[in-house]
Amino acid sequence: MIRKRILAALACSIVVSALSAQEVMTKQKDGTYIVNTTTLAQDVEGYNGPTPVEIHIKKNKIVKVVPLKTQDGAKYVAMVKKHMLPSYEGVNVKKGTVPEVDGATGATFTSDAIKENIRRGVAYYLKNK
């Protein structure tokens, strides 16, 4: 078990190193900002490791949140994607607060980690847009 965690951590650090050259935030032609939390929240772990997301923000409102590759089980990510992430759509982030939404039942660790990724991503957006 410990060996698996060490290998997973090593693999994540390699992926993070490869993505370090990637920008944390990009702006699309239509004015949508996309914040990638891979490097912003690499210390935030879900059930089985980091749980990065892309946060799409346009005119200070979250358009959508897209989970990125993670070692958390596909089942847990699917539950979060279906039951939790739609709650963020249309949320105004201008005031710097992200509302607390209910996590997906049965995917508590993944839900909590993704919530923290979203908080960090929104904070980054507001500071750097």
pLDDT in tens, 23-78: 899 999 999 999 999 999 999 999 999 999 999 999 999 999 999 999 998 999 99
pLDDT score at 17? 47
pLDDT at 20 > cutoff 50: no
Q: How confident is the model at residue 9 (pLDDT cuts 50, 70, 90)?
A: low
pLDDT score at 21? 41
pLDDT at 19 > cutoff 50: no
Taking CA atoms, 117 is separated from 1, 41, 46, 87, 128, in Å, by: 26, 6, 10, 15, 16
Q: How confident is the model at residue 8 (pLDDT cuts 50, 70, 90)?
A: low
| Section 8-27 average pLDDT | 61
pLDDT score at 102? 87
Q: Rounded to whole angstroms, how far apart are CA atoms 73 and 61?
A: 29
pLDDT score at 51? 95
pLDDT score at 61? 96
pLDDT score at 12? 54
Assign 67 to helix, strand or coil: strand
Judge contact between 22 and 36, C-beta under 8 A.
yes
